[in-house]
Amino acid sequence: MLDLNEAAAWASGFTNKNVTPTNIGYLIQYGRIKKHNRNR
């Protein structure tokens, strides 16, 4: 599992665009990306 910073770094490299942790948090909050709990 990735934290928001790691996810943002990965997405930035994958898209060749600047993706911030705030962007990832927004996508999770509005259900665009599924949030996974490490305890499941």
Structure tokens at 29: 């909050």
The pLDDT assigned to 22 comes to: 94
Q: What's the CA gap between 32 and 40, in Å, rounded? A: 20
The pLDDT assigned to 26 comes to: 86
pLDDT in tens, 1-40: 788 999 999 999 999 999 999 999 888 887 766 666 666 5
Domain spans of the chain? Answer: 1-40
The pLDDT assigned to 38 comes to: 63
The pLDDT assigned to 1 comes to: 75
Q: What's the CA gap between 40 and 37, in Å, rounded? A: 6
